Chain A
Amino acid sequence: MSVPIQPHTAAEAKACCAATYGSDVVALLLGGSYHPGGPALTRRLADRLDLRAGEIVLDVASGRGTTARALATEYAVDVTGVDLSDANVALATDTAQTAGLADRIRFRVADAERLPVDAQSIDVVVCECAFCTFPDKPAAAAEFARVLRPGGRLGITDVTVNAERLPPKLAGLGAWIACVADARPLDGYAALLRGAGLTVTYTERCDDAMVAMIDQIEARLALVRMAARAQAEAVGMDFDRAPAVLAAARAAVADHVLGYALLTAVKPH
């Protein structure tokens, strides 16, 4: 927790994010499949995208497959998930098979900046809590545009950060902030999508989801301190510093410096 990670190159950042998302501290504080807003926000995104049964969906940075399973089950779509982590892909594949969804869901190890998918083959791309972590965002956005068929839709939920105004104290969030470090303001994401030739159709601030995430980090920190203080301190968790960092994060959300957002876009015909 107390080790600020400053990625220097794109390659390092990418490696860092893959490692971080599989990383222990994040898993400890957020659980392996956490994303702000949870299934409720996934549903809101799916409803905004007007998902129809049978559509072909690509879930970029599919993690442990929570979003993919929810979409396949509740919206009867066909989902391919791609993720940088072998472990996540294996776990997500396993879970989907156990749930009897193997005919509708598959997962592959792949990079968002080089999607292993044919051009114009996808009805809907979703990307939850991950776009912020891609080091080459224009390349990822261009890949979304490439794989979507004309009229295809893109849905993103993600962390928003107004970088110039981010208080330095937040660097203390270490592993977590490493992924947030390259997050953009809401209009920054919109500009990236427009730059890739997509038409932004809807944006919404969901800062409550970020507050809930901070609440959960705070609660789990307290729990770890209660249950396993010595072990946690041995791996670098700094319980004395945590309250100030969390307070700074809350203040940043209140000031609209840190937040969460939902965007949808469409590929023009």
Chain B
Amino acid sequence: MVAVERVPVPSVPSAVKRDRDEVFVEYAKSICPVCKVVVDGQVNIRDDKVYLRKRCPEHGPFEALVYGDAQMYLDSARFNKPGTIPLTFQTEVVDGCPSDCGLCPEHKQHACLGIIEVNTGCNLDCPICFADSGHQPDGYSINLQQCERMLDVFVESEGEAEVVMFSGGEPTIHKQILDFIDAAQARQIKAVNLNTNGIRLASDRRFVTALGERNRPGRPVNIYLQFDGFDERTHQEIRGRDLRAIKQKALDNCADVGLTVTLVAAVERGLNEHELGAIIEHGLAHPAVRSVSFQPVTHSGRHVTFDPLTRLTNSDIIHLIAQQLPDWFQAKDFFPVPCCFPTCRSITYLLTEGAPGTADFAVVPIPRLLNVEDYLDYVSNRVVPDYAVREALEKLWSASAFMGTDTTRDRLVQTAAALDCADACGINLPEAVANLTERAFMIVIQDFQDPYTLNVKQLMKCCVEEITPDGRLIPLCAYNSVGYREQVREQMSGVTVADVVPNSRPLQPILIDSPYGSKIAGTGAGHHPDGERRIAPDRTNVGRGIR
């Protein structure tokens, strides 16, 4: 393992004190990426970048980049709103975060988005998959009764829930996926998202039609389509197959039945970070696409070897978009999302006209039309120009915002009121803008945490929750990184599952292959052969006095 302790240790005793090469900004609580015990951590700023460092008594020091732009990291702290208490909690506080998921009564936010993974099976075996899914003999899939229970837990917790996302595995290969969608639509859940690789959408017109029929006013169904880029290499390295024609067919089929699509790109350093602009342009040009979501590859589950110190973060993606499409974007067009921890997710909205490449194409980022920070900066603003506009912006800058939902459309219309110039020159601009919302386009950037970057501070306010078959709501990043995913798979499949360890460069000497393509520790750390699993036992300095 590579030593990452930054304390300079002079070989010869010296009388001159030296400064550290970094600014210590936060104490943190994290986990050991190898054995998943909870350990102390520290957040430091070095060379204008933000790093999380921690040390496991057994497995040594670890360090990872968590935000590529220190100024943006510090500025984002203002965009943090008070959380909303969910109606119910599913667990109790016993050992503390992140061992009690969830949600436990100490959780700071309700669930903006609930995720139901319907299976572990998939019609692809992607080299990158945080769910560690694929053609596997020993996974699981849920049945309708289980799905209904999961939906009920979500609704009990939320009252009226904004969005549920069906995921997997590959949810479209589950034989009852349409029944699951019906079950969601029969409950107090405003919108359904289907997270898919698009293979079935490209080949099964009848299935697409059935989805289109379920996409109806007040109960939209949106497609969350994996879409990583246009280079063949991108497809081969991330998905293991050239899926370009399939993606195009899937998109066209969705457009034919009026389904709204979000293009979702997993972005990996050195693979497809040059394709961000092209993905946005493609989305703007395609009638089905209303938003793009960029997600730095989550180094949980299965992924290609990576360097934790140079991984991509939200600010890197923002700067890359501004570099690749300088005529349309500046970095400051993106604002942190205040419902979760503001460093987790950033969003911008555009109003557009025409298609890219045509003469009359025009694009206006909404944050240039009104000063978003006058509304979403919760620290500086004791007076907000218009509280209805703040409320609208809160719904737009949220993990529950998806294009095609009534909530998002209505809030865009409401936001136009902030333009504050009704009837100037005989033009009612707010009204004119309200008519443009069908052409609004959303860009989301979301850096999910992995076992290297996990910071309990962010988990505690997470609003994207994995709904488990046993009726828990577990923050997605805890589910992926702390051991819950392995726990649930083991419970559901009856097959022992060792804790997955990130396939990072420094850890290569101790890694061996898991049966699912991910990596596990060859040392036996994180293996639970007797079925006894304690989630994230504590190795921080708690519960003991000094004598």
Given known pairs A226-B362, A227-B433, the reply for A218 and B421 (CB within 8 Å) is: no
Given known pairs A39-B374, A228-B429, the reply for A215 and B368 (CB within 8 Å) is: yes
Q: Select from chain B the residue with minimum beta-carbon distance to A66.
A: B385
7 contacts between A and B (CB under 8 A): A25-B424, A39-B383, A223-B364, A227-B429, A227-B433, A228-B427, A231-B425
Any chain A CB within 8 A of the CB of B544? no
**Of listed B364, B373, B420, residue having the most chain A CB within 10 A:** B364
Provide the bound-state CA to CA distance between A215 and B429, in Å: 18
**Chain B residues with CB under 8 A of A237:** 425
Q: What distance in Å separates the Cβ of A68 from its nearest Cβ neighbour in chain B?
A: 11
| Chain B contact residues, CB within 8 Å of chain A | 351, 353, 362-365, 368-369, 371, 373-374, 380-383, 385, 419-421, 424-427, 429, 432-433, 435-436
A74-94 contacts to B (CB < 8 Å): 74
Any chain B CB within 8 A of the CB of A24? yes
Given known pairs A31-B420, A32-B420, A223-B364, the reply for A25 and B380 (CB within 8 Å) is: no
Which of B364, B369, B419, B432 lies in contact with A228, CB distance below 8 A? B432
Provide the bound-state CA to CA distance between A32 and B362, in Å: 25
Pair B364/A24 contact, Cβ less than 8 Å = no
Pair B425/A28 contact, Cβ less than 8 Å = yes
**Chain A residues with CB under 8 A of B364:** 219, 222-223, 226
Pair B374/A38 contact, Cβ less than 8 Å = yes
Provide the bound-state CA to CA distance between A67 and B137, in Å: 67
Provide the bound-state CA to CA distance between A223 and B382, in Å: 30
Which of B362, B383, B424 lies in contact with A222, CB distance below 8 A? B362
Provide the bound-state CA to CA distance between A184 and B351, in Å: 37
**Chain A residues with CB under 8 A of B432:** 224, 227-228
A-B pairs, 8 with minimum CB distance: A227-B432, A219-B368, A31-B420, A27-B424, A28-B424, A24-B424, A24-B425, A27-B421
**Chain A residues with CB under 8 A of B362:** 222, 225-226
Per-position 1/0 for A221-263, Cβ under 8 A of B = 0111111100110010100000000000000000000000000
- Extra contacts, 13 of them, besides A25-B424, A228-B427 (Cβ < 8 A), are A24-B425, A24-B426, A28-B421, A34-B420, A39-B374, A40-B373, A40-B380, A219-B365, A219-B368, A223-B369, A225-B362, A226-B364, A231-B427
**Chain A residues with CB under 8 A of B425:** 24-25, 28, 231-232, 235, 237
Any chain B CB within 8 A of the CB of A69? yes
Provide the bound-state CA to CA distance between A79 and B477, in Å: 50
Given known pairs A28-B421, A31-B420, A228-B429, the reply for A220 and B369 (CB within 8 Å) is: yes
Any chain B CB within 8 A of the CB of A104? no
Pair A39/B420 contact, Cβ less than 8 Å = no
Which of A31, A43, A231 lies in contact with B426, CB distance below 8 A? A231
A107-146 contacts to B (CB < 8 Å): none
Pair A74/B383 contact, Cβ less than 8 Å = yes
Pair A224/B427 contact, Cβ less than 8 Å = yes
**Chain B residues with CB under 8 A of A39:** 374, 381, 383, 385
Q: Select from chain A the residue with minimum beta-carbon distance to B382.
A: A74
**Chain B residues with CB under 8 A of A74:** 382-383
**Chain B residues with CB under 8 A of A203:** none
**Chain B residues with CB under 8 A of A29:** 421
Provide the bound-state CA to CA distance between A170 and B436, in Å: 31
Any chain B CB within 8 A of the CB of A2? no
Any chain B CB within 8 A of the CB of A97? no
Which of B380, B383, B424, B429 lies in contact with A223, CB distance below 8 A? B429
Per-position 1/0 for A28-53, Cβ under 8 A of B = 11111110001110010000000000
Any chain B CB within 8 A of the CB of A162? no
Q: What distance in Å separates the Cβ of B436 from its nearest Cβ neighbour in chain A?
A: 6
Q: Select from chain A the residue with minimum beta-carbon distance to B381.
A: A39
Q: Select from chain B the residue with minimum beta-carbon distance to A237.
A: B425
Any chain B CB within 8 A of the CB of A216? yes
Any chain B CB within 8 A of the CB of A201? no
Q: What distance in Å separates the Cβ of B410 from its nearest Cβ neighbour in chain A?
A: 18
Provide the bound-state CA to CA distance between A78 and B102, in Å: 50
Given known pairs A38-B374, A224-B429, the reply for A69 and B383 (CB within 8 Å) is: yes
**Chain B residues with CB under 8 A of A73:** 382-383
Q: Select from chain B the residue with minimum beta-carbon distance to A75.
A: B382
**Chain B residues with CB under 8 A of A206:** none
Any chain B CB within 8 A of the CB of A18? no
Provide the bound-state CA to CA distance between A33 and B365, in Å: 21
Q: Select from chain B the residue with minimum beta-carbon distance to A27.
A: B424
**Chain A residues with CB under 8 A of B426:** 24, 231, 235
Provide the bound-state CA to CA distance between A28 and B421, in Å: 5
Q: What distance in Å separates the Cβ of B160 from its nearest Cβ neighbour in chain A?
A: 30
Pair B351/A223 contact, Cβ less than 8 Å = yes
